[in-house]
């Protein structure tokens, strides 16, 4: 399993429109092989920050998704400048359901 998590920074006046633009992308991603979850949302603590969270079944599925996303965005460059970002890809070797400690 692969988890992609982090943030992107845009001009605060553009943040809501940037998130809305990505909402359409998220719907398209749900039909891709290995898709589990995709969240792209405004960070309530930082005016220009957007949080990114994705879960993919395998690294190959995430790599294929990334190649498709780059190819599709090459013809339609986003109208918003990304001013900074910190996004990390994690490879998960184990997981368990969360529960409250007793």
pLDDT tens-place string over residues 13-51: 999 999 988 877 777 888 899 999 999 999 999 999 999
Residue 102 lies in a domain: no
Tell me: pLDDT of 8 over 80: yes
Q: State how far the Cα of 61 lies from the Cα of 72, in Å rounded to an integer.
A: 16
- Count: domains in the chain: 1
Residue 6 lies in a domain: yes
Residue 82 lies in a domain: yes
Average pLDDT of the chain to the nearest whole number? 88
Residue 100 lies in a domain: no
Residue 19 lies in a domain: yes
Q: What pLDDT score does 76 carry?
A: 54
Using alpha carbons, select from 83, 52, 48, 86 the residue that is nearest to residue 69: 52
**For the whole model, what pTM was predicted?**
0.83
Q: Which structural domain range is residue 25 located in?
A: 2-91
Q: Read off the CATH number of the domain in which 40 is found.
A: 3.30.70.100
Residue 97 lies in a domain: no
């Amino acid at each position: 399993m692969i988890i992609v998590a982090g943030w992107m920074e845009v001009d605060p006046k553009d943040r809501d429109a940037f998130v809305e633009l990505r909402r359409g992308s998220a719907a398209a991603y749900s039909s891709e092989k290995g898709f589990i979850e995709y969240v792209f949302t405004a960070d309530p603590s930082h005016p220009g920050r957007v949080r990114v969270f994705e879960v993919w079944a395998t690294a190959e599925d995430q790599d294929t998704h990334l190649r498709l996303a780059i190819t599709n965005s090459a013809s339609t460059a986003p109208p918003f400048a990304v001013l900074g970002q910190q996004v990390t890809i994690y490879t998960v070797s184990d997981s368990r359901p969360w529960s409250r400690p007793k």
